[in-house]
C-alpha cells in the first residue's frame, strides 16, 4: 500500500503581498506584521524572509503593486481605442468598481491606504502621484467627451471624488459604488456631447 502525501503549496511573494493588503484593510497599517500574516497564511515567518528582507520591504512592494495594479493596469486595459469615449468611461467605471481587488482586501483597501498615508510621508507622496495620474486620465476622457480645459479638470475631480466617497459608503453598506458611478458617468457623458 502506498501512502500519498499532499504537497504543501509554495507561497510566492504575491501571496504575501495579497495577505498584507487584507491585513491592512482589516486592521490598518499596524496589522502588517510578518508573524500575524504568517499565521493567516498557515506558514512560518521563514517563508516571509525568503521573499522579503523585512516588513518595510513588504510595505514597499505593496505600494508598488497598488500603483501598478490599481492604476497603470486599469488605464492600460481601458486605453484600448473605442469609437465612443462614453463607452470607455462606462468600461472604466466597471473596471474600478468590480471585484478584482477582493483578494487584495477589496473595497476597503483604497481607504486603508489613504489612512496609512496620513501617518507616512512616503505613502502620502505615492498616493498623491496615483491621484494625479488617475485625475489626468479622467481629464483626458473628459476632453474626448468634449469638455474644455477648465471643465474637464472639474469633471475629473467630480468622478474621482465620487469614486472615493462611494467606496467609503459601500464599505459601510450605505451605497453601491458601481451603480452610482455609472449614473454619474452617464450624466457627464451626456452633458459633454
Predicted confidence (pLDDT) per residue in 136-187, tens digit: 999 999 999 999 999 999 999 999 999 999 988 888 888 888 899 999 999 9
CA distance readout (Å), 12 to 70, 106, 121, 165, 171 = 20, 20, 28, 33, 29
**Alpha-carbon distance values, 79 to 83, 113, 141 (Å):** 12, 25, 10
- Domain for residue 47, yes or no? no
Residue 75 lies in a domain: yes
Instruction: Please report whether residue 146 resides in a domain.
Output: yes
Residue 25 lies in a domain: no
Domain that holds residue 64: 59-192
pLDDT at 3: 42
Number of domains in the chain: 1
Which three cell numbers mark 57?
A: 520591504
Helix (H) or strand (E) holding 10: none
Q: Tell me: pLDDT of 4 over 50.
A: no
Within-domain flag for 53: no
Residue 4 lies in a domain: no
CATH code of 124's domain: 1.10.357
Looking at the domain assignment, is residue 67 inside a domain?
yes
Amino acid at each position: 500500500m502506498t501512502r500519498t502525501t499532499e504537497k504543501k503549496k509554495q507561497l510566492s511573494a504575491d501571496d504575501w503581498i495579497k495577505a498584507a493588503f487584507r491585513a491592512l484593510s482589516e486592521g490598518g497599517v499596524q496589522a502588517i506584521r510578518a508573524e500575524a500574516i504568517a499565521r493567516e497564511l498557515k506558514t512560518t515567518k521563514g517563508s516571509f524572509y525568503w521573499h522579503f528582507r523585512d516588513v518595510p520591504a513588504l510595505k514597499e512592494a505593496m505600494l508598488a503593486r497598488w500603483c501598478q495594479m490599481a492604476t497603470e493596469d486599469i488605464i492600460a486595459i481601458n486605453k484600448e481605442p473605442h469609437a465612443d469615449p462614453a463607452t470607455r468611461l462606462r468600461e472604466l467605471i466597471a473596471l474600478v468598481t468590480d471585484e478584482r481587488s477582493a483578494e487584495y482586501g477589496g473595497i476597503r483597501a483604497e481607504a486603508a491606504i489613504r489612512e496609512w498615508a496620513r501617518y507616512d510621508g512616503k505613502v502620502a507622496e505615492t498616493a498623491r502621484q496615483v491621484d494625479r495620474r488617475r485625475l489626468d486620465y479622467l481629464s483626458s476622457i473628459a476632453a474626448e467627451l468634449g469638455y474644455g480645459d477648465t471643465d474637464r479638470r472639474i469633471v475629473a475631480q467630480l468622478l474621482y471624488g465620487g469614486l472615493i466617497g462611494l467606496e467609503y459608503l459601500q464599505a459601510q453598506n450605505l451605497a453601491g459604488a458601481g451603480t452610482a458611478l455609472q449614473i454619474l458617468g452617464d450624466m457627464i457623458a451626456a452633458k459633454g456631447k
